[in-house]
A = this chain, B = another copy of it.
Amino acid sequence: MASTTQTRALPITTGAAEGAACCAPLVRDAVDPAVAQDVARVFKALGDPTRVRLLSIVAAHDGGQACVCDLTEPVGLSQPTVSHHLKILVDAGLLAREQRGRWAYYSVVPGALDRLAQALTETPAR
Contacts and interface: CB of A to CB of B under 8 A. Distances in A.
Contacts of A45: 47
How many protomers of this protein does the assembly include?
2
Interface in A35-76: 36-37, 39-41, 43-53, 55-57, 59-67, 69-70, 73-74
Contacts of A67: 22-24
Which of A16, A47, A105, A126 has the most chain B CB atoms inside 10 A of its CB?
A47
A108 B121 contact: no
A97 to B, nearest CB: 14
Interface residues of A, number: 65
Contacts of A23: 65-67, 69-70, 103, 105
Nearest to A39: B52
A90 interface: no
Contact of A123 (B31, B47, B113): B113
Given A40-B47, A43-B47, A113-B120, A70 B31 contact: no
Given A30-B60, A60-B11, A120-B114, A65 B125 contact: no
Given A10-B59, A44-B47, 5 more contacts: A11-B56, A21-B69, A27-B60, A27-B62, A40-B51
